[in-house]
A and B are shown apart, each in its own frame.
Chain A
């Protein structure tokens, strides 16, 4: 397990201390609160576990993500991939474990402060605002940078106008970057599925996040669309230096795109390493052959 046990003593206690400061009570098991001391780890999950109504979705999962890498999490259906991303973004609350975002430890990530923590995400099932245009959807990704009140907006005061202008400029840049010019003023609900996925990526990117969580960004796409999307994801990392955590079904895409891959099965991490290492791991092969996902295991083999 890379980086999981390299914690220096001072870091060992960091999550607990901050949690006590936040009034959340002490960690029930300090040994579980493992935190990476690696300077370049931008996101660290330690001992994450969650269950829904008695069904365990994740148990004791560690994950460490280095700054600027594309980190994939794969696994068969129901392996807990989406739960993992929902825990990182604060929509689910883990029963066990801690999450450190950019050195700041949390037992529960506050979803409403996520954007200001520098984390943006996309959703497995589209989560766009159907009643807004493409441009407005993208612009909404920077809503966390706004400081103006409704009165300033109604009155059209300079501060509100300046804020709008800055956001409009950033939005335009992303529109160009993701080739959405032709549809920018259309109602987002009228776009084809593949383009809507791209708008979601745009809405996440416009926030200029440090960490970008992509929950199956290529699900349901054609091969061409997938290749295009993979290109955008890589370009986003190369040009903006954003760290990307990618959950994806299409193993072919994942292996070509990621720097490191973690494999989940039945809520446990069964492998972690470079694409080549993971591909050769017998546990991974077993997990994939043992499921109905023949297509995936074929590609793997």
Chain B
């Protein structure tokens, strides 16, 4: 391998890591909800779509940027509490699989509603971020990707601080640890779940803006849930750290595989490569890299 090939490989790797951060961003939304309520929320992708679509439609109608952001956030809060009220509360104490299937139904509702309200056309979203690549030591790096990564990192730091140093974060962790015990000491689960779903809605908004600016705001945005799932499986459903590391691993290896493995099998492997990778890891570690191994209580 000569010097330029090596540089190219590094460039691919860096590009992969940066897009991996974008995967992590979506995956974190899942982890928040899974940790506190044991639900694998398939609707996270449609929440990303809903948030981005609401925001971009407001901006297009002349609402100022900041106000649009605020209104969208308010909508996501309302959505979070509505979901808690109408879907989660009636299904309390049901099996995780039932809850998962309910979120599948939820994703259909949110996707349908988002497009029924705002239409099905593709919207461009300009966040005013300059996307000219710049060069570091012979490697081209997209400045948009870098900024997106920085935002994601800031959000992870913010969420961690929130989780580990605020009172409400403490209750989150208590609920995540043991729902029944949390209930017994008088924590109000509905309020906590409402808050968690709101937080997940906020994460969805950030992810929706960044992904929307990258891909355009359209229906396919909700399909990023399919990108996030292998990340979750790899990292473990209940670990924020796992979501980040999983995203980086999947982003990087996916890009490397596409460039170096793809040509041998006819390309287009990004649809399943992440899943295959996640499966291989799972066969060695059935709860993902950072997932909690549960000792079966019998």
Contact = CB atoms under 8 A, between A and B. Distances in A.
A and B touch in the complex (CB under 8 A): yes
11 contacts: A52-B295, A53-B295, A82-B298, A86-B298, A91-B296, A91-B298, A123-B298, A124-B298, A125-B297, A125-B298, A127-B298
B176 to A, nearest CB: 17
Interface string A123-142: 11101000000000000000
Q: SS class of chain B's interface: helix, strand, loop or mixed?
A: loop
A259 B254 CA distance: 65
A123 B298 CA distance: 7
Interface string A251-295: 000000000000000000000000000000000000000000000
Contacts of A82: 298
Contacts of A52: 295
Interface in B257-298: 295-298
Contacts of B296: 91
Nearest to A127: B298
- Categorize the interface residue count of chain A: under 10
A91 B296 CA distance: 9
Interface residues of B, number: 4
Contacts of B298: 82, 86, 91, 123-125, 127
Nearest to A121: B298
Interface in A42-96: 52-53, 82, 86, 91
Nearest to B293: A53
Contacts of B295: 52-53
Nearest to B296: A91
A127 B297 CA distance: 11
A234 B295 CA distance: 33
A22 to B, nearest CB: 23
A125 B297 CA distance: 9
Given A82-B298, A91-B298, A123-B298, 8 more contacts: A52-B295, A53-B295, A86-B298, A91-B296, A124-B298, A125-B297, A125-B298, A127-B298
A86 B297 CA distance: 10
A86 to B, nearest CB: 6
Which 6 residue pairs across A and B have the least CB separation, nearest first?
A91-B298, A52-B295, A123-B298, A86-B298, A91-B296, A124-B298
A63 B219 CA distance: 65
A53 B295 CA distance: 10
A86 B296 CA distance: 10
B295 to A, nearest CB: 6
